[in-house]
Each structure stands twice: as C-alpha cells, then as structure tokens.
C-alpha cells in the first residue's frame, strides 16, 4: 500500500507519529485535521475500537484489506492450529512482514523507507533477489543487502549508532548488512500505542 495523501493529517487524526519522522511531530498541531476536526472525536465504544484499529493499520502502513486478512483469516487460523492466543498470532504476522523486519533492523529509518527498499529489490532473501514487502519471514531466514549497495550513502551510516536496540527476535550483522530472524516475535516486547485485542474485537463486532 502506498499513501498518496498528506501523511501529517493522518498523524494528527490518530494523534501519534505514525511514520517515525520528526517532520510528523503532532505536537506542532494537536487539533484534529479537516474542516470539522474538532467534532470528529468518537466517544462511543465502537468509535474507540475503530480508532484503535485504524491506528494499528496505519502504523504498519497496511490497507484495510491487508490488515483485516491478517487479523480475521491468517492469524485466526494459525492461532487455532497452534493453540496460540489470537492477539499473539496477529502480532507475529504483523512483525514478520519483510518490510517490518527491515525497519526493525534500523537499516531503514521509517516503515515507508523500508518498503521502498524492498520494492526496489535492494535485498536478497536467503540468497535470492526478493522484492515483495508482504512476505512473511520465518526463523533462520536471512535478509542481506546487495553487495553493490553496501557502500551507498543511503546505507553506510544506517547502522553506525551503537545505541540502536533491535527486538530480541532480530539479529543484525552490521559489517555485512545481514538481518536474521532468530525466533518468532514476542508480544512482551510490543512497542505500539494500540491494543491488538481491541482490533480483534472490532472485527468480531463488525
């Protein structure tokens, strides 16, 4: 999914920096966007569930079709077959998307940049060229930056900050620009300002 409308308006609508960039700092303008923004606050239970779902969907830069498929179909089926909590399964599938794994490695500064990098074929997945951001990465899979790009100005300083901390399920080889998924993502390290259970409840009520 590619956003073609004003991104700052989306951040203001959700009252969260959705895209990990300082230029989308909502403190600059906290009022809700559009002409009737001040009257758009939803205080009903359904309204709260809707806003929570929208926030989650936009944090991962997914379309409604993509997000609902993960929540209602893929994760629901997987959780049932693996005797896993539904919300944990949703989190795993969201975090295992190739664009998200690249973003969590800090090679990309934003989820938008990570998706663009994957789309442009900058990485090899297990040794083969791959350009599908929605691919689910499995434990022991390795994503490696193409050799010819390792000296590119876009990547040379990407991993230079020693204070960068990646999730425990991701291992990054800074010298080789290699990303490995060690284990399945863990909900104990959830970073988002949204509730997965409420997203599941939204679709159950819809």
CATH number at residue 158: 3.10.290.10
Do 89 and 102 share a domain, yes or no?
A: no
User: Per the structure, how many domains does the chain have?
Assistant: 2
Q: Which pTM was predicted?
A: 0.82
Contact (CB, 8 A) for 84 and 40: no
Q: Give per-residue burial for 167-182: e unless 16+ CB within 10 Å, then b.
A: bebbebeeeebbbbbe
Do 116 and 155 share a domain, yes or no?
A: yes
141-153, pLDDT tens digit by residue?
A: 999 999 999 988 8
| Residue 116 scores a pLDDT above 60 | yes
pLDDT band at 160 (very low <50, low <70, confident <90, very high): confident
CATH code at position 79? 1.10.1050.10
Do 89 and 15 share a domain, yes or no?
A: yes
| Range(s) of the domain holding residue 168 | 97-183
The answer to whether position 26 is within a domain reads yes
Do 107 and 37 share a domain, yes or no?
A: no
CA distance linking residue 120 with residue 99, whole number of Å: 12
10-58, pLDDT tens digit by residue?
A: 665 555 666 665 655 656 555 555 444 455 555 789 999 999 999 899 8
């Amino acid at each position: 999914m590619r956003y073609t409308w004003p991104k700052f308006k989306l951040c203001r609508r959700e009252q969260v920096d959705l895209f990990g960039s300082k230029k989308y700092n909502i403190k600059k303008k906290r009022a809700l966007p559009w002409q009737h923004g001040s009257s758009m606050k939803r205080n009903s239970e359904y309204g709260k569930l809707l806003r929570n779902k929208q926030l989650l969907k936009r944090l991962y830069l997914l379309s409604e079709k993509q997000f609902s498929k993960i929540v209602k179909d893929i994760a629901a089926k997987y959780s049932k077959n693996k005797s896993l909590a539904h919300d944990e399964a949703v989190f795993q599938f969201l975090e295992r998307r190739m664009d998200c794994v690249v973003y969590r490695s800090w090679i990309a500064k934003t989820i938008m940049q990570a998706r663009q990098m994957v789309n442009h074929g900058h990485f090899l997945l297990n040794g083969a060229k791959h350009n599908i951001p929605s691919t689910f990465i499995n434990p022991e899979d390795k994503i490696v930056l193409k050799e010819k790009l390792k000296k590119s100005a876009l990547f040379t300083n990407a991993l230079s900050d020693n204070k960068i901390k990646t999730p425990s399920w991701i291992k990054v080889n800074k010298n080789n620009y290699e990303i490995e998924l060690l284990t399945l993502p863990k909900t104990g390290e959830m970073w988002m300002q949204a509730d997965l259970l409420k997203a599941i409840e939204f679709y159950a009520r819809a």
